[in-house]
């Protein structure tokens, strides 16, 4: 529900869909610049997800917390690279957003109690895809309900 509120705020604050299109275009351009600058092994786990215009910060999302210190150590060269492409930021912030595991555990049949809880959750967050016949659970060793 919170993500919906954020999206609603963006839509309400945007004067037009053209403004949103321009914002997405800027993010795409910044990501292209970033990915050309970073080594491939870093760029595939890092992307620009937002710009804090009030503080003039660029926000990078990382797929792995171990990359945080590496990217933070490269903040000055990254910002200089943006500046050479006419994008000037006061700083860089990293956020960890882990990517889905490549080896998910697939549960074909759920116990009725677990399925009931999952159905309640799916309905409350408007995610009917969570209650399909095959549920994918990642990196979970034990589930308590």
What is the rounded CA–CA span in Å between residue 56 and residue 126?
Answer: 34
66 falls within a domain:
yes
49 — phi, psi (to 5°)?
-110, -15
Whole-model pTM over 0.75 = no
Together in a domain, 130 and 73: no
Asked whether 108 and 134 are in contact (CB, 8 A), the reply is yes
Number of domains comprising the chain: 2
Residue 144 has pLDDT above 50, yes or no: no
pLDDT at position 120: 74
pLDDT single digits (tens) 55-66: 999 999 998 888
Mean pLDDT within 53-80? 91
* Nearest one of 44, 50, 10 to 26, comparing CA atoms: 50
Together in a domain, 74 and 10: yes
Together in a domain, 54 and 122: no
Could you list the residue range(s) of the whole structural domain that residue 115 is in? Answer: 105-137
pLDDT single digits (tens) 86-133: 999 999 999 988 665 444 444 556 677 777 777 777 677 666 666 665
Together in a domain, 9 and 80: yes
Together in a domain, 64 and 131: no
pLDDT at position 66: 85
pLDDT at position 55: 93
Together in a domain, 10 and 61: yes
The strand pair at 91-96 and 105-107 is best described as unpaired
Residues in the chain: 145
Together in a domain, 20 and 82: yes
Together in a domain, 42 and 76: yes
144 falls within a domain:
no
Together in a domain, 79 and 132: no
Together in a domain, 81 and 130: no
| Interior angle at CA 101, CA 143 and CA 58, nearest 5 | 110
18 falls within a domain:
yes
Q: Taking the CA atoms of 7, 13, 19 and 24 in sequence, report the sign of the dihedral they define.
A: negative
pLDDT single digits (tens) 26-52: 888 999 999 999 999 898 889 998 888
pLDDT at position 65: 83
């Amino acid at each position: 529900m919170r993500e919906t509120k954020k999206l609603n705020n963006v839509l309400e604050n945007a004067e037009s869909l053209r403004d949103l299109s321009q914002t997405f275009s800027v993010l795409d351009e910044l990501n292209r610049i970033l990915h050309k600058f970073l080594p491939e092994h870093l760029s595939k786990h890092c992307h620009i997800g937002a710009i804090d215009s009030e503080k003039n910060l660029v926000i990078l999302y990382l797929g792995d917390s171990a990359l945080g210190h590496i990217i933070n150590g490269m903040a000055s060269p990254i910002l200089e690279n943006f500046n050479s492409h006419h994008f000037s930021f006061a700083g860089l912030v990293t956020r960890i957003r882990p990517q889905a595991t490549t080896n998910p555990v697939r549960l074909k049949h759920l116990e009725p109690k677990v399925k009931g809880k999952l159905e309640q959750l799916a309905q409350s967050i408007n995610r009917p895809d969570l209650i399909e016949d095959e549920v994918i659970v990642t990196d979970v060793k034990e589930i308590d309900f």
